[in-house]
Amino acid sequence: MTITELNLAIKLINENFTTDDYDFCSPITRETIISVEKILNLELPLSYKGFISALGCGDIKGSEINGIIKNEVFSEDHWGPIGSLNLVWLTLNDRKEYGLPEHILLIYSLGDGSYYALDVSQMDAEGECPVVYWPLDGYEATPKLEIVAKDFGEFFLNLIQDKIADKKKSTEA
């Protein structure tokens, strides 16, 4: 179901927004995704791979979703462009500087130092994992992470539906 949710979210973007409303990077190749998984030493969930394959990373109406900016080969010596939209740089930098656990992937900043994140330690048989709330102080702030969506597909679809609702409210006002 989750790829269906991802595809529906992309369809809703195309039906409800203009290119002035969003800025996604570009489709990412399978080879680049394999390179990402290798450097991060984990497998990405299927719906998140689908997002990266289709859109890379980007912004819609002020909400940034971290991912991969461009096709390239990542390595210990090359983490890609510096910046929060780059999942590889953000993850490896936060592992090194702040002790981010290996199974947490920061995908969406809440603007206060906390994130929504993929918790790949909870990967299921279908290759999906929940999106969790990752507080500023991580496990020190909360030993059990709050699940905000069953997987990335649901998370992304909810985000897009919220943006559509916001747009309708602003046009009605």
Instruction: Express each pLDDT in 34-87 by its tens digit.
Output: 999 999 999 999 999 999 999 999 999 999 999 999 877 777 777 776 777 899
- What are the angstrom distances between the C-alpha of 128 and each of 66, 142, 149? 17, 23, 11
What does the alpha-carbon distance between residue 63 and residue 55 come to, in Å, rounded to a whole number? 14
Instruction: Express each pLDDT in 3-44 by its tens digit.
Output: 899 999 999 999 999 999 999 999 999 999 999 999 999 999
Residue type at position 75: S
Give residue 132's pLDDT: 97
Whether 1 shows a pLDDT value over 60: the answer reads no
Q: Please choose, from the candidates 64, 144, 47, the residue with its C-alpha nearest in 3D space to the C-alpha of residue 106.
A: 64
Using 50, 70 and 90 to split pLDDT, how confident is the model at 173? low
Residues whose CB falls within 8 Å of the CB of residue 27, separated by 6 or more in sequence, listed in order: 53, 54, 55, 56
Q: Which tokens go with 145?
A: 């992470």
Mean pLDDT of 120-131: 97
Helix (H) or strand (E) holding 147: strand 147-149
Number of domain units in the chain: 1
Give residue 81's pLDDT: 66
What does the alpha-carbon distance between residue 32 and residue 89 come to, in Å, rounded to a whole number? 14
Using 50, 70 and 90 to split pLDDT, how confident is the model at 138? confident
pTM of the model: 0.91
Structural domain for 137, as ranges:
2-172
- Assign residue 42 the CATH number of its domain: 3.40.1580.10
Q: Is there a contact between 74 and 39 (Cβ–Cβ < 8 Å)?
A: yes
Mean pLDDT of 84-94: 90
Helix (H) or strand (E) holding 4: helix 2-16
Residue 124, phi-psi category: left (phi > 0), alpha (psi -120 to 50), beta (remainder) = beta
